Amino acid sequence: QVQLVESGGGVVQPGRSLRLSCAVSGFILSSHNMHWVRQAPGKGLEWVAFMSGDGSDERYADSVKGRFTTSRDSSENTLYLQMNSLTFEDTAVYYCARDYSGMYSCDYWGQGTLVTVSS
């Protein structure tokens, strides 16, 4: 069955970097577009990033553009989110989610990994 498992979260100081991983199973990563979505404590969902299945198309929310980069390792069936120049406002649970093929929505989500930016 389809599973997405995020990892890599933790406590990091402002200005530092962190890389999140999303290991997927039950489907081929290169056959699906993928999203990153985050949720600050007690707040709503915020779309963060998109990567196309073939890796040729990346899109980012204005709030992270220029600081965050998504990538993938198809051999490992793993998606990554490289987060640089972190700020307090980046504190959130980060979810990876599979794009519902051609339907502009997310049909499978991971359980999320918490990133806390704190001095």
Partner 1 sequence: QSALTQPPSVSGSPGQSVALSCTGTSSDVGSYNHVSWYQQPPGTAPKLMIYEVSNRPSGVPGRFSGSKSGNTASLTISGLQAEDEADYYCASYTSSSTWVFGGGTKLTVL
Q: Could you list the beta-strand ranges (E) of the chain.
A: 3-7, 10-12, 18-25, 34-39, 45-51, 58-60, 68-73, 78-83, 92-99, 106-109, 113-117
Which CB sits closer to partner 1, 42 or 75?
42
Burial label for 42, CB within 10 Å (0-12, 13-18, 19+), is: exposed
Which CB sits closer to partner 1, 66 or 103?
103
CA 48 from chain center: how many Å?
7
Closest separation in Å from C-beta 13 to partner 1: 27
Which CB sits closer to partner 1, 85 or 105?
105
Residues engaged in binding partner 1 (CB under 8 A)? 35, 37, 44-47, 50, 59-62, 95, 97, 100, 103-107, 109-112
